[in-house]
Amino acid sequence: DAKTTQPNSMESNEEEPVHLPCNHSTISGTDYIHWYRQLPSQGPEYVIHGLTSNVNNRMASLAIAEDRKSSTLILHRATLRDAAVYYCILRDEGYGGSQGNLIFGKGTKLSVKP
Amino acid sequence: DSGVTQTPKHLITATGQRVTLRCSPRSGDLSVYWYQQSLDQGLQFLIQYYNGEERAKGNILERFSAQQFPDLHSELNLSSLELGDSALYFCASSPGLGLQETQYFGPGTRLLVL
């Protein structure tokens, strides 16, 4: 089972910021926090990842709580193309025999309104 | 375009049959992963290969097998197919094994078992 909890769905207006939350209260010190998204009819796509510090890239920002028990993916200006299912995933070397592989939960379905 | 290719795009077959799905990783990537996405189970990790060797197993049925060849392409073999095997099958690749590494997903093969 996934070790993260996300809202099932969220809505946003185009060109407004979006904050997608993720709870991971059982995170261990070596778990990396990864975010992937899946656009309709496509394979998952990497968004961002981090360990302890906040991270920024061209797609998004990742804000990690000081205790690391939660994180937030921030899309600074949502576009229609950002409508997708967003997955928050912990990667750990020994989790459930997966040896660091991606264990997907149900994710958050983001809808973007024009 | 992630650089990962999968063939065929679509496959329709009958129960009891056997099919082979093919994946070519990004140039230079040594790790290949297989995932299954069905409506009721979501995205599930099946198996991982690294440089020709099986590295980790997830929820892969005994009727399914995979291998990675010396040229690093991989094949997923599904046998004695059942209706419930109808799903999208994704292949992903990454350069190595690091927890920080991005997995790049292919467009998937849609399998329909009738």
Nearest chain A Cα to B55, which residue?
A: A99
> For B93-113, what is each residue's pLDDT tens digit?
999 888 788 999 999 999 999
Predicted pLDDT of residue A95: 47
Evaluated on CA atoms A112, B2, B4, B6, the torsion sign reads: positive
Predicted pLDDT of residue A100: 65
Show the tokens assigned to A10: 């969220």
Residues 6 or more apart whose Cβ sits within 8 Å of residue A67:
none
- Residue A52 in contact with partner chain B when CB distance is under 8 A: no
**C-beta atoms of A101 and B58 within 8 A:** yes
3-state class of B71 per DSSP?
Answer: coil
Interface test with A, best of B34, B103, B109 (most A CBs within 10 A): B103
- Residue A49 in contact with partner chain B when CB distance is under 8 A: yes
- Average pLDDT over chain B, rounded to whole? 95
Among the partner residues B58, B97, B106, nearest to A43 by beta-carbon distance: B106
- Give the residue-averaged pLDDT of A76-94: 90
- Residue A55 in contact with partner chain B when CB distance is under 8 A: no
Residue B50 has pLDDT above 80, yes or no: yes
